[in-house]
Amino acid sequence: MDLNESIPIMLYDDKCYLCTKFAKIVNSLAKGKITIIGHYSTKGEEIRKKILDESALDMFWLIDEKYANGGRTGIIPLIRAILSSKKKRSNHIDLEVDCEQECKNVKSVFIRSASILSSSKKIKLK
């Protein structure tokens, strides 16, 4: 997989109901301008091994030409990508969720929302 052809890429937890809902909303707003890939998909695992570190599964990531922005630091670049990216691409979003946790209740919504705001990481790409 050539990352440069797929950029911008959003990586999300495809085993979490709430995260998949978030990815669907982003996909809808971006109208196909962002490649959306699940953490646990084959391509997601390749990306995690190639450019991310052990904190990769703790948050969503937006990957562009220069940086991989995770969690809180990825929000502004994600909005920018939704508004400014012009290329349409094929998205790799899997609409089925294999949720093994109780993630549809109110407590889980607050925990996942708090984790987006509290988790943050920026990795400079080569």
Nearest to 118 by CA among 54, 58, 53, 37: 58
Q: What is the pTM of this model?
A: 0.79
> Tell me: the pLDDT tens digits for 4-56?
677 899 999 888 888 888 899 999 999 888 999 999 999 999 998 988 888 78
> Tell me: the pLDDT tens digits for 27-39?
999 988 899 999 9
CB 62 within 8 A of CB 7: no
CA distances from 57 to 31, 32, 33, 70 (A): 25, 24, 23, 10
For the chain, the domains span: 3-124
In the sheet with 120-124, reading across from the earlier edge strand, the strands are: 35-38, 9-12, 61-63, 67-71, 120-124
> Tell me: the pLDDT tens digits for 67-116?
999 888 999 999 999 998 666 665 555 545 555 556 666 666 666 666 66
Q: What is the DSSP string of 25-67?
A: HHHHHHTT-SEEEETTSHHHHHHHHHH--TTGGGS-EEE-SSE
